[in-house]
């Protein structure tokens, strides 16, 4: 896969979402859609880090939590306008992402995975224990309804559009990065740090940038989650969520923004679908993952887009 | 002038570079040759900032670059290629060369994130520039959209040179560009390098291919055991006994 800008596919997905929402009256399905979009925003962030720059992070839940708690604190303690509170949460997350990138910039692959995993665990412990700020595990914390300039927009239908705008913004920025020199610099750092440096790319700065933007988007996702859940505790920001995000990105496509969105919806929706399988739910989920990875190792999106070519080659043979 | 003065580098007990001094003028091909283990690659990595020297100085057109990081050295107008190809394998050939333009891009980060018209314009410019360079390196349009890592070895070497050229260097360090090329390709490479030198680029050629070096370089430095043991024009170097000795061993030299 090269850096083809897959704008068209991304736009198609972004248009399909409101259509899907309009087709269902079921409040639960609508909530699943909204949660899927929230996850997609975070997945787009990780897609830039892992898919483009090759920087694996097993600590994304920490950024998600920083966004959620940052937003809640701004809104609840300082009475900040919700949109600004979300922005503040995302910026807090970005600042932390940027500052951990420097000590991490010498690490590669599994060492980086270990370090970010440790960061995620430490932040989880902080979230669970800094009870005066976060409410810890029990009772947790809660946030007022989402509103803009005093206008209540907290119904699921209204929240859908709020989150949709967030996803469109994330996809817009990530899509731009994918199709200009920033994306190429990130890809260059991933494929050969030495060659990247030899053409004038500041490798340390590129890594700091991608950690910052990845944390920003994941923090934005956390802020949206706060208004979606309204009441939550530290369990939402454990290692489990970091792993889920990783699955979304790997499953969808490592090299496409659209892949992150598709992956996010699969990981969000499949468990709901498999709910009918009762006891076999986890097993079915696991087997589905294995099958997808076995037959579409570069992700579902590339796998499906490559399917016509593969079939015609088989027909000729 | 790319001026290297009294460069020293030790790896533990190994004296990899001892008092190496080399001058590479602009618009010429200057070659560095020597048997395996002579310190050529270490020299290359020290000049381009991947290894820091224990002593000595390097200046590009009077600007000291000793101790700078690799990307800073590139921005001083010194580009390089790698002995073991360092391709951006998953990019297309065209994207690879466009990436070489990074240091000349002026649009701000915010402009890039928002993809302003200015950035679109820059993208087009960079693509055009890259295409010209690919043509210079005789890589035809049929290859431009191919995955860089899928190209034949010889072409990948040319793509690396095109990528280095895209940084618009005053000097280029080429680490064994003819490795793995056949005679015909090697001669073609030589004339391309001569053409590039004709444009004013100072080329430092580290090479095993003696034919290429003898036929195309203006001045040759011979290294052995970390030091420069001889230098001169190809004719002068060819006849020096210490060079013959370093290359062929004592019995032949005697």
Q: Determine, yes or no, domain membership for A98.
A: yes
Interface test with B, best of A181, A190, A204, A216 (most B CBs within 10 A): A181
Asked if A198 and B82 come within 8 Å (Cβ–Cβ), the reply is yes
Residue A142 counted as domain residue:
yes
> How far apart are alpha carbons A80 and A70 in whole angstroms?
11
Any A CB within 8 A of B229 CB? no
Interface check for B240 against chain A (CB to CB < 8 A): the answer is: no
The SS3 assignment for A296 reads coil
Average pLDDT over residues A168-188: 94
Distance CA B35, CA B42 (A): 13
Chain A residues contacting B via beta carbons under 8 Å: 1-3, 173, 176-177, 179-182, 184-185, 187-188, 191-192, 194-203, 209, 255
- Retrieve residue A27's tokens: 């409040």
pLDDT, residue A183, reads: 93
Measured between beta carbons, the chain B residues lying within 8 angstroms of A182 are: 109, 112-113
Task: Say how many domains are in chain A.
Answer: 1
With contacts defined as CB-CB under 8 Å, which chain B residues touch A2?
A: 90-92, 95, 147
Quick one: DSSP state of residue A154? -
Distance from CA of B227 to the nearest CA of A (A): 26
Lowest mean pLDDT among A47-51, A57-61, A297-301, B23-27: A297-301
Task: Measure Cα distances from B193 to B98, B132, B173, B185 in Å.
Answer: 20, 16, 12, 12
Q: Is B239 on the interface with A (CB under 8 A)?
A: no
- Which residues share a beta bridge with B230? B222
pLDDT digits (tens, 9 = 90+) for A13-22: 999 999 999 9
Asked if A203 lies within 8 A of B100 by C-beta distance, the reply is: no
* Per-residue confidence (pLDDT) for residue A255, from 0 to 100: 86
Domain membership flag for residue A308: no
Q: Which residues pair with B147 in a beta bridge?
A: B92
Measure CB to CB from residue A199 to each of B89, B90, B103 and give the nearest one: B103
Say whether B99 and A181 touch across the interface (CB within 8 A).
Answer: yes
Tokens read off for B226:
């970390």
Instruction: For chain A, give the number of residues.
Output: 317
Contact A192 B88 (CB under 8 A): yes
Task: List A148's β-bridge partners, or say none.
Answer: A151
Please report whether residue A212 resides in a domain.
yes
Determine the distance from the C-alpha atom of residue B194 to the mean position of all C-alpha atoms in its chain, rounded to a whole number.
14
- pLDDT attached to residue B157: 92
- Residue A124's domain comprises 7-239
Q: Which chain A residues touch B103 with a CB distance below 8 Å?
A: 199-200
Query: Quick check: B70 and A2 CB within 8 A?
Result: no
Q: Which of A64, A35, A65 is nearest to A234 (CA)?
A: A65
Residue A266: inside a domain, yes or no?
no
The closest CB to that of A195, out of B75, B82, B103, belongs to B82
Q: Which long-range contacts (CB under 8 A, 24 or more apart) does B104-111 make?
A: B104/B167, B104/B168, B105/A181, B109/A182, B109/A209
A262 within some domain: no
For residue A188, list chain B residues with Cβ-Cβ distance below 8 A: 88, 91, 99, 102
Q: What pLDDT, on the 0 to 100 scale, is given for residue A314?
A: 75
Inter-chain contact A180–B82, Cβ cutoff 8 Å?
no
Can you tell me the distance from the alpha carbon of A231 to that of B248, in angstroms, rounded to the nearest whole number? 80
pLDDT tens-digit map of B126-143:
999 999 999 999 999 999
Hey, what domains does chain B have and what are their CATH numbers? 2-77+169-253 (3.40.50.300), 89-152 (no CATH)
pLDDT of residue A246: 94
How confident is the model at residue B249, as a pLDDT? 64
Of B86, B90, B109, the CB nearest to A194: B86
**List of chain A residues whose C-beta atoms are within 8 Å of the C-beta of residue B49:** 197
Closest CA to B43 of B141, B176, B214: B176
* Stretches in chain B below the pLDDT threshold 50: 252-254
* Pairwise CA distance, residues B252 & B237, whole Å: 16
Closest by CA position to B108, among listed A180, A5, A51: A180
| Pairing assessment for the beta strands B2-11 and B55-60 based on DSSP bridges | antiparallel
Confidence (pLDDT) at A135: 93
Rounded mean pLDDT, A251-257: 90
User: If pLDDT is split at 50, 70 and 90, which confidence band does A296 have?
Assistant: confident
The answer to whether position A264 is within a domain reads no
Residues of A in contact with B121 (CB under 8 A): none
Q: Cα–Cα distance between A87 and A74 in angstroms, integer?
A: 10
- Which positions in chain A touch B99 (Cβ < 8 Å)? 181, 184-185, 187-188, 196, 199, 201
Q: What's the count of helices (H) and strands (E) in chain A, helices before strands?
A: 14, 4
User: Tell me: the pLDDT tens digits for A80-104?
Assistant: 999 999 999 999 999 999 999 999 9
A90/A173 Cα distance (integer angstroms):
15
CA pair distance B213, B199, nearest whole angstrom:
19
Q: A277: pLDDT confidence band, cut at 50, 70 and 90?
A: confident
Structure tokens at A122: 């430490």
CB contact under 8 A, A176 and B115: yes
């Amino acid at each position: 896969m090269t850096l083809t800008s897959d704008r068209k596919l991304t736009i198609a997905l972004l248009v399909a979402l409101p259509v899907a929402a309009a087709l269902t009256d079921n409040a639960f399905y609508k909530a699943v859609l909204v949660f899927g979009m929230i996850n997609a925003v975070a997945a787009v962030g990780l897609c830039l880090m892992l898919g483009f720059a090759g920087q694996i992070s097993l600590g994304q839940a920490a950024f998600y939590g920083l966004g959620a708690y940052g937003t809640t604190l701004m809104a609840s303690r300082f009475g900040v306008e919700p949109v600004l509170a979300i922005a503040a949460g995302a910026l807090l997350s970005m600042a932390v992402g940027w500052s951990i990138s420097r000590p991490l910039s010498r690490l590669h692959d599994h060492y980086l995975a270990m370090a970010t995993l440790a960061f995620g665990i430490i932040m989880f412990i902080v979230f669970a224990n800094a009870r005066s700020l976060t409410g810890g595990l029990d009772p947790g914390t809660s946030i007022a309804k989402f509103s803009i300039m005093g206008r209540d927009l907290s119904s699921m239908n209204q929240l859908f559009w709020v989150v949709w705008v967030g996803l469109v913004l994330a996809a817009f920025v990530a899509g731009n990065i994918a199709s200009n020199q920033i994306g190429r610099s990130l890809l260059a750092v991933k494929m050969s740090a030495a060659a990247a440096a030899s053409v004038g790319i500041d490798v340390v700065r590129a890594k700091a940038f991608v950690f910052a933007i990845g944390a920003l988007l994941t923090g934005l996702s956390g802020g949206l989650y706060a208004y979606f859940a309204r009441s939550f505790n530290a369990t939402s920001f454990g290692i489990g969520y970091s792993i889920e995000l990783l699955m979304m990105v790997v499953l969808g496509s490592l090299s496409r923004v659209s892949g992150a969105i598709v992956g996010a919806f699969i990981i969000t929706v499949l468990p709901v679908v498999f709910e009918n399988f009762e006891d076999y739910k986890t097993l079915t989920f696991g087997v589905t993952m294995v099958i997808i990875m076995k037959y579409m190792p570069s992700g579902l999106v590339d796998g499906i887009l490559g399917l016509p070519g593969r079939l015609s080659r088989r027909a000729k043979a | 002038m790319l001026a290297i003065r009294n460069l020293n580098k030790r790896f533990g007990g190994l004296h990899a570079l001892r008092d190496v001094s080399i001058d590479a003028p602009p618009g010429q091909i200057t070659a560095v040759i020597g048997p395996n283990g002579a310190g050529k690659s270490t020299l290359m990595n020290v000049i381009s900032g991947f290894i820091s020297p224990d002593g000595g100085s390097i200046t590009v057109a009077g600007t000291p670059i000793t101790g700078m990081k690799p990307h800073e050295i590139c921005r001083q107008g010194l580009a390089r290629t790698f002995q073991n190809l360092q391709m951006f394998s998953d990019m297309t050939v065209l994207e690879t060369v466009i990436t070489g333009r990074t240091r000349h891009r002026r649009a701000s980060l915010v402009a890039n994130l928002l993809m302003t018209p200015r950035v679109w314009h820059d993208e087009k410019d960079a693509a055009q520039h890259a295409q010209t360079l690919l043509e210079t390196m005789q890589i035809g349009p049929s290859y431009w959209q191919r995955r860089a890592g899928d190209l034949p070895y010889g072409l990948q070497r040319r793509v690396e040179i095109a990528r280095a050229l895209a940084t618009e260097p005053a000097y280029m360090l080429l680490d064994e560009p003819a490795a793995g090329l056949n005679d015909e390709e090697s001669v073609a490479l030589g004339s391309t390098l001569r053409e590039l030198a004709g444009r004013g680029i100072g080329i430092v050629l580290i090479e095993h291919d003696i034919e290429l070096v003898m036929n195309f370089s203006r001045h040759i430095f011979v290294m052995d055991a970390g030091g420069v043991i001889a230098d001169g024009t190809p004719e002068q170097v060819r006849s020096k006994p210490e060079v013959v000795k370093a290359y062929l061993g004592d019995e032949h030299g005697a």
